[in-house]
Structure 1
Amino acid sequence: MARQIRRLRPALVVIAGYFPRSHLFLALLLKASGQPIGLRSDNTLQHTRFTGYRGRLRRWGIGALQRLFDTWHPVGEQAQAYLLRLSGTSRPSFPFPYAVVTAWFARGATEARQERQQFLAKQGWPADAFVVLGIVKWTPREDPLTLIKAFRLLLVAHPSARLILVGDGPLREQVRKALASFKQAVFCPGYVAYSSLPGWYGRSDVFVHPAVDEPWGVSVNEALAASLPVVASSGVGAAAELIRPAGCGVEFPAADPVALAQALERLLLNPMLRKRYARAAALVGEAHDAGHSIDQFQAALAWVQHG
């Protein structure tokens, strides 16, 4: 791969991290040949553990690796702080955030909202249902069980609440058992095609990302592009950078179903708040359109070529 890349004579090669090892070997080979290389990183200090002797060694080693690169392309401010702290230096930085094609998500969500009543009727759900959406892998890290526990609390107080839980995974049996007593209020379509995602956002009133350890969470970007308020856990990196500053949703303590239920109830009871969050979400979604990443790549190329 290194030989093939060198034949192309690119101005800059951006490598997504230094793991797996093939990425590290590629970076070393290209650097040895004089090829400018950039590091794309989504690691954060909050989501990384450097404890004990091995942790300190690993931290030193990662800092040395980061210094190999000519440019940095962090996904956000937390990733930039990680690079600065571990490397002990700085590099020209051109952010490469997780981004989506905002117009595509917005268009698909709008079309789905126009057909929302038909969807509710097909499920046998009330016309005034408050629909909570989760799109998560059914794994301990993404923690669908906290969302289910919170929704059960919400449903007891508000029988018109409904849950769409998209995904699947190794916690399948635990999820099914947790849903058994109120499965009539839940729709689980399994894994869905990426092309259908805007429709699920458009059918919903709020999106929840419950992960306990997620450095970013690109589904937050998708929901915001669809003008959907977001409730995300403190374990989701995007909560700190997109939701909290912009006022387009709510952050709750990770693995706390009571706090999540309270946040959902607040949105259920306050349609005007949902509308305000939705307007703010659309603005944030537009600011993180994929086109901005293209602009950053062009700026990085200009720097490499002209300094």
Structure 2
Amino acid sequence: MRILIVHNILWAHYKSSVFQALQRLVDNQPDVTVKVLQIARSERSRTGMESVTDSTAPTYAYDYELLFDRYIENVSLFDRTRVLLQRVRAFRPDVINLTGYYDPAQVMILLWAKANGVRVIMQNESTVADQQRGSRKEQFKKWLFDRCDGFFCFGNQSANYLISIGADPAKILLRRNAVDNDTIQSVYEQALPTRTERQQALTLKPNNFVFVGRLIEFKNLPLLLDAFAKAIKTSSNGKNWGLLILGDGTERTKLVNQVNELGLAGSVSLLPGRPWYEVPEILALSNILVLPSRSEPWGLVVNEAMACGLPVLVSDRCGCVPDLVHDGQNGFVFDPNQPDQLVRRMAQFMDGTVDTHQMSQAAKQLIATYSPNAVAQDMLRGFIKVTS
């Protein structure tokens, strides 16, 4: 069996950890070959989030080819289509995993595959809560998905969305997503012993909520700042808590202004974005992760925080919630349209009425089943199933 995976950007380190795990599984399988076509190195919105020349960056070993060493926005549709078709024909796959039904070039690969008897597994990240959808767009996606032999989904919300537009549940071959748990946990544990010293050097509070991600509109950070401001007034222990916002983006200036207007300059720290493998160093300065997004296909930062044993506060619009956030066990779920819910939960953590140690243990135990190896095993079983 010859497996070909078409992926958008090499930057997606979490996928590289899965591809490496898949490569190791395939290496132990007779007559099975896997190759990954990475269309581009990165995308513009990720600028500055990874230093490709940093010798400390983790590397992943799997058979891949980088088709265009530039931002994906700078690769024309003609070039993508031409080179992808060329490489696909040369590889002669039995099954293709496509990761972008929204990309006309990959739609062309799907049509080529169906005309040539090649099986196709489509990746889906979308959920019902993502955005408003027009009927024509949904009809096109249904037509497209009807031509797929299987689906790799980012969790149950993603799978349920496909089923809602007519996909056969038996074709859902994967329902989870993973990050490099081992690397993230290792960096976190190395940073933890110097937590107090680094907090003092950065003039941080001894306890902190943390947000990690791009500072863009749908991440809903104004809600987080408002909720934090109310929570520290509600809690008698609020003066010992801070909020770390790690990331870059178009909303930074607005957020700085809001911090000043709310009188939070001594409690909120906006830290510049950094490569993913350095993020656990900031998680080591923190106690609780908050992800308040109004829309999020999954929310990989929740995986990362749980790998470090952090309890999580996650908006119910995030795709990972049904799979990763067990309300009251490893964190809490809140409605982003009901800001008082977030205020109440943050105040509970501040007041110490939540057993954070038990939540930490539950987070580590749950996220262990969302490892790159577990996802890779599901993928390989899916490839075998559709080609049998």
Question: TM (normalized to structure 1)?
Answer: 0.91
1:159 corresponds in structure 2 to 239
User: Which residue, 155, 159, 164 being the options, matches 1:76?
Assistant: 155
Q: For residues 100-139 of structure 1, what are the structure 2 equivalents within 5 Å? A: 100-126=179-205, 129-139=206-216
Tell me by how many angstroms 1:96 deviates.
Answer: 5.5
Tell me by how many angstroms 1:247 deviates.
Answer: 2.2
Do the aligned partners of 2:244 and 2:268 also contact (CA within 8 Å) in 1? yes
Q: Does 1:95 align with 2:207?
A: no
1:19 corresponds in structure 2 to 102
Q: What is the CA deviation profile of residues 152-203 of structure 1, one whole-angstrom value per residue up to 9, with x for unaligned ones?
A: 1223341111111001212122101111222222222211111201111222
Pick closer, same or farther for the CA change 1:166–1:195 going to 2, 3 Å. Answer: same
Q: Does 1:210 align with 2:292?
A: yes
1:33 corresponds in structure 2 to 116
Could you tell me how far apart the structure 1 residues matched to 2:331 and 2:342 are?
12
Aligned length: 300
Identity over aligned residues, as a percent? 19
Q: For residues 241-280 of structure 1, what are the structure 2 equivalents within 5 Å? A: 241-244=323-326, 247-270=329-352, 273-280=355-362
2:90 corresponds in structure 1 to 7
Q: What is the CA deviation profile of residues 82-112 of structure 1, one whole-angstrom value per residue up to 9, with x for unaligned ones?
A: 1122135345332163211212111221222
Name the Cα RMSD after superposition: 1.9
- Which letter maps to 2:257? K
User: Which residue, 186, 191, 196 being the options, matches 2:268?
Assistant: 186
Higher mean Cα deviation, 71-80 or 254-263? Answer: 254-263
Q: Does 1:219 align with 2:296?
A: no
2:70 corresponds in structure 1 to none
Could you tell me how far apart the structure 2 residues matched to 1:83 and 1:285 are?
24
1:47 corresponds in structure 2 to 130
Could you tell me how far apart the structure 1 residues matched to 2:171 and 2:151 are?
6
Pick closer, same or farther for the CA change 1:93–1:239 going to 2, 3 Å. Answer: closer
User: Deviating runs (4+, > 4 A) in structure 1?
Assistant: none
Tell me by how many angstroms 1:222 deviates.
Answer: 0.9
Do the aligned partners of 2:232 and 2:347 also contact (CA within 8 Å) in 1? no
Tell me by how many angstroms 1:19 deviates.
Answer: 0.6
- Going by fraction, where is strand more abundant, 1 or 2? 2
Q: What runs of 5+ residues in structure 1 fail to find an aligned partner?
A: none
Pick closer, same or farther for the CA change 1:247–1:11 going to 2, 3 Å. Answer: farther
Q: What is the CA deviation profile of residues 37-78 of structure 1, one whole-angstrom value per residue up to 9, with x for unaligned ones?
A: 10110111232434xxxx223222211111111111111111
2:164 corresponds in structure 1 to 85
Do the aligned partners of 2:154 and 2:319 also contact (CA within 8 Å) in 1? no
Tell me by how many angstroms 1:257 deviates.
Answer: 3.4
- Going by fraction, where is helix more abundant, 1 or 2? 1
Tell me by how many angstroms 1:245 deviates.
Answer: 6.1
Do the aligned partners of 1:76 and 1:96 also contact (CA within 8 Å) in 2? yes
Pick closer, same or farther for the CA change 1:285–1:89 going to 2, 3 Å. Answer: closer
Do the aligned partners of 2:156 and 2:176 also contact (CA within 8 Å) in 1? no
Could you tell me how far apart the structure 2 residues matched to 1:140 and 1:82 are?
24
User: Which residue, 180, 190, 198 being the options, matches 2:280?
Assistant: 198
Q: Does 1:148 align with 2:148?
A: no
Do the aligned partners of 2:159 and 2:175 also contact (CA within 8 Å) in 1? no
Do the aligned partners of 1:227 and 1:285 also contact (CA within 8 Å) in 2? no
Do the aligned partners of 2:288 and 2:311 also contact (CA within 8 Å) in 1? yes
Could you tell me how far apart the structure 1 residues matched to 2:144 and 2:214 are?
31
- Which letter maps to 1:217? G
- Which letter maps to 1:236? C
Do the aligned partners of 1:167 and 1:192 also contact (CA within 8 Å) in 2? yes
